[in-house]
Structure 1
Amino acid sequence: IQEKDKEIQEKDKEIQEKDKEIQEKDKEIQEKDKEIQEKDKEIQGKDKEIQGKDKEIQEKDKEIQETDKEIQEKDKEIQEKNKIIHNKDYEIHELERKSSELGVEAGIKTKLQLPDSVTLKDDIINLQNSLEEYITKCKDQKLIIKAVLKRHVIEKIFEYASGYFNNPNARDIEVIMYKRCKDIVKLAKDFAEQRDGVDETTKVLPIKLRQQICAVLGNRGFNNVINKNKQHFLHDFIKRSQFFLNNEINIYRKLNPEKKKEIEDMAGDIIRKTVTLFWFRLNVQEPAAYRYWFKNTDKINTNTMEL
């Protein structure tokens, strides 16, 4: 029995030791659980930190996408600006080219200006004065009647001249030169346009031909004719037109018998001045000038009309 008791005591002691060991293991387990909890807590913190980092990364990605979009828009804007700059460069180039062409053209026009341009205005005024003197005292002293008669004189001269230049049977030098001038000028223009090449001589040839021929006609056209015997005669066109014009205008005016011949003789000079001015002298200008009749409904313009 004692041995059994001793054995039991030993067993109890062993059990106590086991219990103690179990307690230590429990304590160790608790510590491990605590450590695990701390690790879990740390893991949760890391997970939270990772989630924060992921969110930050997403925000950065979004920011990068927005930045990329902005860059694309800026690139597009730059392309548009480059296109505008290119167009402006082209526009500047075209303007410089046109400016250069205009400069050359202006230089050409300057070279093509003849002395006739200077005296043309004076000759127009001189013609107006001659008309004033030719009309002289009308049966009606009203200013408007005199103005109408001046216009009538010019229109009658235009009528005579148009019939003269359009007469296919006319053989006077003035008619032939005038018609040949238009033909040769047209040929020169066609040649310049239809033959390859770039040179100033060919370009200005039609202008110079027109100017030179019309200048010659303007200087001597319808002057007295010289025959083979060196005798001087009134040009047939002037003689014939002068007769018709005097008969026409004498219907509307009253002449002093003492001055009748003097005034009627002015008709020839007025006809010559009018035809050479409007048919020849205007064509000497560059560009060629043209006549314009004011309408009775036009407003008064003191720059182009005389009151």
Structure 2
Amino acid sequence: MGGSSDSNEPRRTKSSASNGNTNNDTNSTLSNSPSTFTSFTFSAPVQPIDQSHWSIVEWFGNGSNWQVDFAKWIILAIEEPRESSEQPNIETGVKIINREIEELYSAGMIPKETYNPCLDIINKCKIFRLNPDKDKREHLLQMIFNRLQMKYNDAIQIINMLRQISIEQRSVLRFMTHQKVQAKIAYLRTTLKSHKTTYDMERYHCITNPYYDEVFKQKQAAVLECSNLNASIKAVKASNVELNERYSDIFNDHHRVNQELIELKEKNEKLYNEVNDNKILTTKYEKLVVTNKELLKAKEALKKQGEEIVKEIMENHTKMTQDRDKMIKQLQEEAKELRQEAKSAKEEATTYQAALGSATNIRWSDSTLNNPIQLTKDIENLQHSLTVFTKVKGKSIKINEDAAKKLLAEYQCKANLDHKEIKNYLAAALQRMILETIFYFADNLFKYANHDSFSDKLLESYIVYYTHYLIKNTNLLATTREGKDSVTAITPVKIRQQVYAALGSRGFAKPNHPLVSHLINKILGKMEMYREVIDDGNKNELRSDAEKIIRTGLQLWFCLKAQEPIAKVQWFKAGAHLESHLIVGAWENDNIKEMEVDFAYFPLIMSEHDNQVFSKAQVFVRPKANGRTKKLFGIF
């Protein structure tokens, strides 16, 4: 049950009854859920319905809040056994749910605090349907009944009743709960004019024929087969035309002989009239008779020859058809063999190519943009750009000291700052805030991938998402499949390096990229909380500068992922010990043991296994709570 606006399947409408709102309707924060309804043929005689069933029918039928109907549909989906014949319809219904919730959310009909729980329930329902588990089922049902604010005994009664009724009855209940939801979706589409045709907007309240797709595919296959047969018939007709032309020539020759016989007959009659007067004519007549007999024999011979030619034409036609079919079959078999040979050759060539030593080389050459030296230069350039971008000094910049102190407190900075010193600390804190925002976005880039449809603006998200699973599966290949090659084990590393190197070169390199624009707005919005650029000229340059820093930060993150071993970004926590080989700051070497990290404004970037440092952490320091330096500070 429940069609999508993208479907071309036939629909039929059916209304659902509602006996008014329940208390559950106003308290639920769930979204609508579609279902797929299948017609069933009953061979058994109709029996009187158990009156106790009406209680569950009324419970599923009551209410007018689509969020409650969505929850009821999920309950029905959970309680349907996986081996049930309704499994394909439920899977289809769960997929349609995402589209309808996205549509409601995009239209602004539901807030994010409703939208996110709905997606959470849908995902848990998908996981449960794929791998049914008693604990997952109990947890999901408990979560839904809690949202519906139902008593335990009432919930148990509903679950027990659902297990007693038939597959067909549960299917009807799913249909009934979804009809009310789809009526609202149809009204929303009609109101917003969000679909191209009236059919998609006004007739969404319907039942989708679950088998139409298969019938449509069979129809397309039949049309294709008919087209191929028509082409074959056309070729046979062309052959027949040629044979008909040959037959026409024979027929014309036969006609010409007949005409000659008629003319001879006329001459014969004329000579016959002259026989009585002249014996010579009689002799000629006898000769003509002999000639006529010979012509008749020639006519019969031509007729017989024509029949033989016609027979030969028919036999040739039959033989040509058989030869053509045999040749097509032979060519198909040869093509299949050639494809197999090509596949084997390709696999062999791939094996040889993979065996080359270059395939196992995981180090970047000095000529590439991902070599450690170039990576270090890129980090230094990013540090310089951040320093310029986050400056808070000057007449054109006004800072919010209260907000700045609150931000520093979030980083556990304990320095007691005056008006002049707070600007240095605020500029450093803004650098950290920008880097954390960019790196957090990059770490969660895979979450933006929408698996129901492709969008160019999410291309980088798709690449990161599918690269993760490709690496995971190639690792499984190396660990769970036997073999002696040296390429398989290094393949996951090569995939990660090449993909992230490509993203480092071209990722987000598109004007007005929507995700980059989103980050620009987010970062500039945060910075305005702590500093205000008064000069309009400088303010206009901020967006361009922010875009450059964001692209540089994202490219840096991709390049770090392309290293082997992977380079990690680590922030030193407040109170951490000073390690001069990993940290840069202002302290005296003789009292380094008395100092500790106040807060870090640039992270340590170091490879995971070989401890290669690409960039040291940049920090402000403070005396330790019980250190000698702390006491000296107190004295002076």
TM range (shorter): 0.5 to 0.7
For the structure 1 residues 212 and 269, does the alpha-carbon distance in structure 2 shift closer, same or farther, using more than 3 Å as the test?
same
The equivalent position to 1:190 in structure 2, one of 476, 490, 495, is 476
Distance in 2 of aligned mates of 1:163 and 1:192: 27
Amino acid of the structure 2 residue aligned with 1:261: N
For the structure 1 residues 119 and 243, does the alpha-carbon distance in structure 2 shift closer, same or farther, using more than 3 Å as the test?
same
Distance in 1 of aligned mates of 2:584 and 2:387: 13
Structure 1: which 5+ runs fail to align?
A: 1-106, 225-232
Equivalent runs, 1:15-94 vs 2, <5 Å? none
For the structure 1 residues 289 and 242, does the alpha-carbon distance in structure 2 shift closer, same or farther, using more than 3 Å as the test?
same
The equivalent position to 1:286 in structure 2, one of 542, 564, 568, is 564
Name 2:490's counterpart in structure 1.
Answer: 204
Distance in 2 of aligned mates of 1:234 and 1:288: 30
Equivalent runs, 1:1-12 vs 2, <5 Å? none
Residue 191 of structure 1, CA deviation: 0.8
The equivalent position to 1:300 in structure 2, one of 574, 578, 599, is 578
The number of equivalent residue pairs is 192
Q: Does the CA contact (< 8 Å) of 1:223 and 1:234 recur in 2?
A: no
Equivalent runs, 1:82-231 vs 2, <5 Å? 111-114=361-364, 115=368, 116-117=370-371, 118-138=373-393, 139=399, 141-142=420-421, 143-162=424-443, 164-169=445-450, 171=455, 172-224=458-510
Please identify, of 248-257 and 148-157, the stretch whose mean Cα deviation from structure 2 is larger: 248-257
Distance in 1 of aligned mates of 2:449 and 2:466: 13
Cα deviation per residue 1:139-186 (whole Å; 9 max; x = unaligned)? Answer: 365322221111111122234445543235384110111111111111
Q: Does the CA contact (< 8 Å) of 2:360 and 2:486 recur in 1?
A: no
Q: What SS does the aligned partner of 1:237 have? A: helix
Name 1:20's counterpart in structure 2.
Answer: none
For the structure 1 residues 152 and 234, does the alpha-carbon distance in structure 2 shift closer, same or farther, using more than 3 Å as the test?
same
Amino acid of the structure 1 residue aligned with 2:363: Q
Q: Does the CA contact (< 8 Å) of 2:501 and 2:562 recur in 1?
A: yes
Residue 277 of structure 1, CA deviation: 1.9
Cα deviation per residue 1:9-33 (whole Å; 9 max; x = unaligned)? Answer: xxxxxxxxxxxxxxxxxxxxxxxxx
Amino acid of the structure 2 residue aligned with 1:111: N
Q: What SS does the aligned partner of 2:583 have? A: coil
1:257 pairs with 2:564: no
Distance in 2 of aligned mates of 1:126 and 1:209: 28
Distance in 1 of aligned mates of 2:359 and 2:530: 45
For the structure 1 residues 240 and 214, does the alpha-carbon distance in structure 2 shift closer, same or farther, using more than 3 Å as the test?
same
Residue 272 of structure 1, CA deviation: 1.7
Residue 296 of structure 1, CA deviation: 0.8
Distance in 1 of aligned mates of 2:377 and 2:447: 29
Q: What SS does the aligned partner of 1:291 have? A: strand
Q: What SS does the aligned partner of 1:191 have? A: helix
Distance in 1 of aligned mates of 2:577 and 2:465: 37
Amino acid of the structure 2 residue aligned with 1:197: G
Cα deviation per residue 1:176-204 (whole Å; 9 max; x = unaligned)? Answer: 11111111111111111111122221121
RMSD: 2.4
Residue 209 of structure 1, CA deviation: 0.7
Please identify, of 208-217 and 251-260, the stretch whose mean Cα deviation from structure 2 is larger: 251-260
Q: What SS does the aligned partner of 1:219 have? A: helix
Q: Does the CA contact (< 8 Å) of 1:135 and 1:253 recur in 2?
A: no
Residue 302 of structure 1, CA deviation: 3.5
Please identify, of 267-276 and 210-219, the stretch whose mean Cα deviation from structure 2 is larger: 267-276
Structure number with the higher strand fraction is 2
Name 2:515's counterpart in structure 1.
Answer: 237
Q: What SS does the aligned partner of 2:571 have? A: coil
Distance in 2 of aligned mates of 1:109 and 1:132: 41
Q: What SS does the aligned partner of 1:290 have? A: strand
For the structure 1 residues 109 and 125, does the alpha-carbon distance in structure 2 shift closer, same or farther, using more than 3 Å as the test?
farther
Cα deviation per residue 1:240-285 (whole Å; 9 max; x = unaligned)? Answer: 210121121122224233222223311112112222322x211111
Distance in 2 of aligned mates of 1:209 and 1:221: 16
Q: What SS does the aligned partner of 1:112 have? A: coil
Q: Does the CA contact (< 8 Å) of 1:134 and 1:264 recur in 2?
A: no
Which structure has the larger Rg over C-alpha atoms?
Answer: 1
Structure number with the higher helix fraction is 1
Structure 2: which 5+ runs fail to align?
A: 1-356, 394-398, 400-418, 586-636
For the structure 1 residues 209 and 168, does the alpha-carbon distance in structure 2 shift closer, same or farther, using more than 3 Å as the test?
closer
Please identify, of 152-161 and 190-199, the stretch whose mean Cα deviation from structure 2 is larger: 152-161
Distance in 2 of aligned mates of 1:287 and 1:162: 17
Q: Does the CA contact (< 8 Å) of 1:137 and 1:253 recur in 2?
A: yes
Provide the identity percentage. 29
For the structure 1 residues 264 and 299, does the alpha-carbon distance in structure 2 shift closer, same or farther, using more than 3 Å as the test?
farther
Q: Does the CA contact (< 8 Å) of 1:188 and 1:206 recur in 2?
A: yes
Distance in 2 of aligned mates of 1:222 and 1:271: 10
For the structure 1 residues 306 and 110, does the alpha-carbon distance in structure 2 shift closer, same or farther, using more than 3 Å as the test?
farther
Residue 305 of structure 1, CA deviation: 2.6
For the structure 1 residues 239 and 141, does the alpha-carbon distance in structure 2 shift closer, same or farther, using more than 3 Å as the test?
farther
Distance in 2 of aligned mates of 1:163 and 1:283: 14
Q: What SS does the aligned partner of 2:428 have? A: helix
Cα deviation per residue 1:79-137 (whole Å; 9 max; x = unaligned)? Answer: xxxxxxxxxxxxxxxxxxxxxxxxxxxx9999311130231111111111111111022
For the structure 1 residues 123 and 145, does the alpha-carbon distance in structure 2 shift closer, same or farther, using more than 3 Å as the test?
same
Distance in 1 of aligned mates of 2:375 and 2:552: 11
For the structure 1 residues 141 and 158, does the alpha-carbon distance in structure 2 shift closer, same or farther, using more than 3 Å as the test?
farther
For the structure 1 residues 201 and 141, does the alpha-carbon distance in structure 2 shift closer, same or farther, using more than 3 Å as the test?
farther
TM-score norm. by structure 1 comes to: 0.57
Distance in 2 of aligned mates of 1:167 and 1:211: 22
